[in-house]
Structure formats: C-alpha cells, structure tokens
Amino acid sequence: MIRLLRPFQNKSRLVLHRCEAPKTTTTQATTIPVPWNTRLRELSKQGQYQQSLTVYRKMLRSGAAPNAFTFPFTLKSCAALSIPITGTQLHSHVTKTGCLCEPFVLTALISMYAKCLLSEDAYKVFDENPLCKKLTVCYNALIAGYVQNSNLLNGVSLFCEMRRMGVSVNAVTMVGLASGCTNPLHMSLGMSLHCLSLKSGFDNDLAAENCLLSMYVKCESIQLARKLFGDIPGKGLITWNAMISGYAQNGLGTHALDLYYEMESSGISPNAVTFVGVLSSCANLGARRIGQEVEQKIWNLGLGFNLFLKNALINMHARCGNLVRARAIFDEMHEKSLVSWTAIIGGYGMHGQGDISVELFDEMIRTGIQPDGPVFVTVLSACSHAGLTNKGLGYFAAMQRDYGVKPSIEHYSCVVDLLGRAGRLEDARKLIDSMPVEPDGAVWGALLGACKIHKNVDLAELAFHEVVKLEPTNIGYYVLLSNMYTEAENLSGVLRIRLMMRERKLKKDPGCSYIEFKGKIHLFVAGDRSHSQSDEIHSMLSKLQDLIKELDGTKKYNDEKSDRELSSGVGVHSERLAIAFALLNTEIGVDILVIKNLRMCGDCHLFIKMVSKIVDRQFVVRDATRFHHFRGGACSCNDYW
C-alpha cells in the first residue's frame, strides 16, 4: 500500500500548466530529471502504475504541489491497481487543491471509484458536483463505471437521463454501453447502439467500431460481426484481433486461422493478443504443426514471456497431444496463474492421467492459490475419466465448505458422470433429484452415457425421456439409446427411436474425423469417397481388415460388426478413413493424431487397437471428450460408446 507521507505542505494556488520538478538539492527529487507531470504521464502510458504512485509520493516529499494535470495519472494508477484507499486519499488531495472544478479530474475520480468496484462512491462524486451533470465526459465515465460493475441497467438509465438533459452523446458513450452487451440477451440493445452509431457518424471512430464488433462476438452473432468487420475501412490491429478471437471463442478455428493468414498478408503485424486467439484455435482443431510454427514465431518475436501466451501454449500442446511440452512450459513458468494450473490439470485429465491432475490440484492449493469454479470442473472431470471416484467426491464436498465455491450445474453434471462411470447409477440419480438447481440436458446426458457403459436400459430410458425434453434436437442421445437397444437386441426399441427421429425430422449427424498433414487439415466423414486418395485409403483399409482377421485367432474382433455397419448405410467410419490416410502418408516413427468430433464407438476402438499392434505405431485419437492412446494392441482407456 502506498502511504502518502507529507501531503500538501504547499497550499498556494496552483498554476495548472507548470507543475514541474523543482530544482532542489534533495536526492529523491534530483533522481527524476523530468518534470513531475510529464514523468507521471509517461509511467501511466507505460502501465507502470506502482511506479507512478511512488513518483507522486516523491513529488509530495519534495514540496512540489500537485495540480489538475497530476491527478488524472495518479487516479488512473489507483484504478489500475484497484487500491481504493489510496484513491480516497487522492480524492481528499483533489478537494484540498481545489481541482474538483476540472472536468478531467472529475472524470478520473469517477472512473477510479468505478474501477475499484465502488459505483456508489463514483455516483457520489457525480451527484455532488453540478458540473458533472453538464459534461459528456462525466456521464461517460459513470456509464462505463456502471457497465464495468455489471450494472448495465443503471448505465442505460443514465444514458436516457443524459439525452433528456440535452447533454451530447459521443462515441465514447456508445462504447461504454456497448461493452456491457455481453450475452445474446443484450443483442437488441447492442443493435440499437449500432444504429445510433451509424446515425451519429460514430462509424468514423475506430474504437467505436471495434467495440461494436466485439459486442456482436460476445452476443454470439458471429455473422453480424463478420459483416461489420468487412465494412470497417481502416482496420487496425485491434479490429483484426477482435475478429480472430471472436472466431476462436465461437469454435470456428479454421476461420480464425484463415483470417490470421489474411492479416499477415495484408501487412499487419500480429501481437500477443493475436497469437492467443490463434493458439486457442490450434488447440481446438488439434492443429499440432501450425501450433508449433506459431510457437516458434512467438519466441522469435520475443513474446514468449507473456503469461496469457504461455497459458495458451500449455493448452495448445496438451490438446494437440504433446503433454510433455505442455508440462515443460508449465514447469518453466516463474509466475503461474490459476488459468495456468487449470490448463495443465485439464491437459492431464484429457489424457486419462487423472492421478497427476489430482497431484497438481493439491499442489496448487498448497501454494495458496484460491480455486475457482472452472478449475473444479476440470479436476472433477479428470477424476471421472481416471476412475478416481472418492477423490472427486471429496473435492465436490470441499468446494463450497473449504473454498467458498458454490457448485454450479457444470459441477453437478461432472459428479453425475463421476458416479455414473463408477457404476453408482442410483447414487447419480439421487444426486440429480437432490440438486438445488433444475438439471439441464448435460446432467441427464451424463446419466444416459453412464447407463450405456453399464448397460442399464431401464434407467437409460428415464434419462433419455428427460434429456429429449430439454434438448429435443440433439441427435446424439437418440443414437445412444438406439445403440443400447441394438446391443440388448431390442428391435422394437430401435424402431421406436427411429420413428421418433423421423417424426422430429432429425437426421444423423455424420460426424467427422480429421488429421493434420503438412499444415493442411484432411477431413473425412463416414463413407466418404471424395478424398483424392480415396482408392488407396480403401485398399489400405481392406488390407488392414485382412490382417486383423488373420491376427484375431480368438475372434475377439468380430467382422460381423463391420459388415453390419457397412450394410446400415453409415459406411466406413470416419476415424478409420483418417487412420488409413495417415498410414499412407505420415512418416514411420511419428505418432499419429486423429481428431474426431463425436465420441469414439466400440467398433472403431477395437479396430484401432488391432491396427496399432499390426503396424507397431502409436495412434492418439482425440474425440469429443478425451484422448485415447493406442499402442501395441492396447489403449490407455476403456470408455467409449
């Protein structure tokens, strides 16, 4: 905490433009050769807020008096560091020096209180100073303050008052409000602001355009965002970044990567924010080689020390199958945030190494980091995949009791999954009944998935009944129950589900698998024959099939299954096509990473196990929920549909 040691020895009237560092002989004052306000402005621009407050303290010690040009910078530092006590002290200095009549000081004060999450104090400054009610900048500061404190409604009321009072609205007013439109429910307000912006000519203001663009992204209207992006004539780095991360956040990884290449070819140099979006897309796509190239670029540009980027790199490597590299980056980090821990814990969890996830989680707690909701979701899921049922239940019990984190619906669905996978289906059902919140599709879906693993058709029917009420168009649940009926040889059940699907006009999502080869994504859907190497792929598959039959003396691999799947019209499963493609093209000795957008089925699981034995290579398949490592005829996991 900064202590202001000797405030205001000099109460003489201040000359606003000339508050300079005095030519004194004191060591502290002479160590800063530039005028005080200039120095404060420089530090503020560089984001050296702590340093800026130290300079302010030195300034007071030296006997120099602060003026209206001093306070905006010091108040900004308090806001950035979120230290309201120092901010309040500065407020009293402002009053004593008579600077409360200066618009920029008033706005800085309002903004400081708002950023320190003290909207009431911000409002008090606004309310007690009649000048504020005439100034656009003061309204803007308070509106932005309300929005930053998640009070969009107050922001809107103030905006209405401002218009009623005849105070002019500018682009900053609009930006303050639009940045509060953070979910699809706010879309109509966001669009009204966009109209206002066009009518008022704010579309010449790049900050306003960028803000509207990210408003559309947050409201999940990615097409409107893209339309606006195309309409912005002088796109800046922030414009490109907003669109790239918009695509990344909305799961449109290929769009994000395409736009990144387009940005580079249009001569705009990327920065750390760009790479965060790009790495996040590589992680979601499983684009290992592109991710590695981007990492190299990050190091070449000297950006490798950015915490956000390191977290993004951990996530990218873990999701692209390179857990060793992810761990190395994590271990080398001097400063680790909660997100760094979450990324590495999740990485091990996805790879089925829940024991390490748990060790890391406990280590994180020992280092004094306060866990949040997402890290509990991550560790609970890791426990679930690794069969660490009691450990997971222990965390669930402790999260509110010991850490004050209230379980959300995501945590409940993890625990239903945890209990369900462990075969404790009745306990899972009881948990659903006792939940303080209404269960959603994910909760019932987790129970349904567990019923599939443990072949409990009765409970599956109940879970299915509930889940289709909540997610009637999610085809995965219909397919899952239909497969259960097939396994149980319940033909009338299969027909019933097919009828339901037909009545509801649901068509089976073909699902796809893909593999990155030479920086390009090769995508396959079931029964696909459109690939340029299709003939070679099918002949490779047929050879593999023969070898499997030869190898499988014990008839573990039942070729009737593949005949059934071929005759059902689904065609050859997409992951098999991707595996055959990889065997034809990738170098021997290199692990093969295949990404599948749906969960792997039992037939394919068995097929890849056998192939890994025949060709003696490691296959890493990432499906919708986790990694499966196949080596020498075995797999790291046993959970598939």
Applying CB under 7 A, which part among 17-25, 253-261, 440-448, 607-615 lies near DNA?
Answer: 440-448
Q: How many angstroms separate the first and last alpha carbons of the chain?
A: 56
Q: How far is the CB of 125 from DNA (least distance, A)?
A: 12
Q: How far is the CB of 524 from DNA (least distance, A)?
A: 23
- 55/32 Cα distance (integer angstroms): 9
Q: How far is the CB of 264 from DNA (least distance, A)?
A: 14
Applying CB under 7 A, which part among 122-130, 277-285, 545-553, 557-565 lies near DNA?
Answer: 277-285
**Residue 252: CB atoms within 10 Å:** 18
8 A C-beta contact, residue 146 and residue 154: yes
Among 19, 55, 242, 386, contact with DNA (rule: CB under 7 A): 242
Count residues near DNA (CB under 7 A): 80
Tokens describing residue 510:
């073909």
> How, if at all, do strands 512-517 and 520-525 pair?
antiparallel
Q: How far is the CB of 281 from DNA (least distance, A)?
A: 9
**Residue 188: CB atoms within 10 Å:** 11
Q: How far is the CB of 59 from DNA (least distance, A)?
A: 19
Residues 88-117 that bind DNA (CB under 7 A): 104, 107-108, 111
Among 2, 14, 21, 172, contact with DNA (rule: CB under 7 A): 172
Residues 190-209 that bind DNA (CB under 7 A): 205-208
Handedness of CA 170, 176, 181, 186 (dihedral sign): negative
**Residue 141: CB atoms within 10 Å:** 26
- 466/449 Cα distance (integer angstroms): 13
Q: How far is the CB of 569 from DNA (least distance, A)?
A: 26
List CB contacts of 591: < 8 A, sequence separation 6 or more.
321, 617, 618, 619, 620
Q: Which is nearer to DNA, 384 or 574 (CB)?
A: 384
Residues 451-490 that bind DNA (CB under 7 A): none
Residue type, 323: L
Q: Which is nearer to DNA, 446 or 577 (CB)?
A: 446
Q: How far is the CB of 583 from DNA (least distance, A)?
A: 29
Q: How far is the CB of 169 from DNA (least distance, A)?
A: 10
Q: What is the phi/psi pair of residue 555, to 5°? A: 60, 30
Q: How far is the CB of 228 from DNA (least distance, A)?
A: 13
> Tokens 């590299």 label which residue?
325
| HEC assignment per residue over 251-298 | CCHHHHHHHHHHHHHCCCCCCHHHHHHHHHHHHHHCCHHHHHHHHHHH
Among 86, 197, 245, 562, contact with DNA (rule: CB under 7 A): 245
Q: How far is the CB of 116 from DNA (least distance, A)?
A: 12
Among 276, 468, 515, 523, contact with DNA (rule: CB under 7 A): 276
**H helices present in 320-372, as ranges:** 323-332, 338-350, 354-366
Cα–Cα separations (whole angstroms), residue 212 to 66, 190, 216, 217, 273:
38, 8, 6, 9, 18
Among 81, 193, 432, 446, contact with DNA (rule: CB under 7 A): 446
Tokens describing residue 530:
């459109």
Q: Which is nearer to DNA, 315 or 389 (CB)?
A: 315
Cα–Cα separations (whole angstroms), residue 5 to 8, 56, 60, 91:
10, 11, 8, 15
Question: DSSP for 561-601?
Answer: HHHHHHHTT--S-HHHHHHHHHHHHSPTTS-EEEEESSPPP
Tokens describing residue 279:
């790495």
Residues 532-561 that bind DNA (CB under 7 A): none
Among 55, 122, 162, 175, contact with DNA (rule: CB under 7 A): 175
Tokens describing residue 434:
């006792």
Q: How far is the CB of 313 from DNA (least distance, A)?
A: 10
Applying CB under 7 A, which part among 15-23, 80-88, 237-245, 608-616 lies near DNA?
Answer: 237-245
Q: Which is nearer to DNA, 375 or 541 (CB)?
A: 375
> How would you list the strands of the sheet with 512-517, edge to edge?
520-525, 512-517, 592-596, 619-622, 627-631, 634-635
Among 179, 197, 357, 562, contact with DNA (rule: CB under 7 A): 179
Q: Is residue 67 at the binding interface for DNA, with CB under 7 A as the rule? A: no
Q: Is residue 169 at the binding interface for DNA, with CB under 7 A as the rule? A: no
> How, if at all, do strands 592-596 and 619-622 pair?
parallel
Among 4, 308, 506, 614, contact with DNA (rule: CB under 7 A): 308
Q: Which is nearer to DNA, 197 or 562 (CB)?
A: 197
Applying CB under 7 A, which part among 244-252, 352-360, 502-510, 575-583 lies near DNA?
Answer: 244-252
Residues 366-425 that bind DNA (CB under 7 A): 372-375, 377-378, 381, 384-385, 409-410, 413-414, 417
Q: How far is the CB of 144 from DNA (least distance, A)?
A: 4
Q: Which is nearer to DNA, 171 or 526 (CB)?
A: 171
> Tokens 């009338």 label which residue?
492
Run of H or E including 620: strand 619-622
Run of H or E including 10: none
Applying CB under 7 A, which part among 93-101, 236-244, 389-397, 541-549 lies near DNA?
Answer: 236-244
Applying CB under 7 A, which part among 13-21, 422-430, 441-449, 503-511 lies near DNA?
Answer: 441-449
Q: Is residue 353 at the binding interface for DNA, with CB under 7 A as the rule? A: no
8 A C-beta contact, residue 424 and residue 394: no
- 623/449 Cα distance (integer angstroms): 15
Among 14, 59, 211, 364, contact with DNA (rule: CB under 7 A): 211
Q: How far is the CB of 159 from DNA (least distance, A)?
A: 12
Residues 318-347 that bind DNA (CB under 7 A): 337-340, 342-343, 346
Residues 601-640 that bind DNA (CB under 7 A): 624-626
8 A C-beta contact, residue 111 and residue 145: yes
- 94/398 Cα distance (integer angstroms): 47
Q: How far is the CB of 27 from DNA (least distance, A)?
A: 32
Q: Is residue 283 at the binding interface for DNA, with CB under 7 A as the rule? A: yes
- 256/266 Cα distance (integer angstroms): 15
Q: How far is the CB of 398 from DNA (least distance, A)?
A: 17
Q: Which is nearer to DNA, 378 or 574 (CB)?
A: 378
Q: What is the 8-class DSSP label of residue 34? A: S
Residues 255-274 that bind DNA (CB under 7 A): 271-274
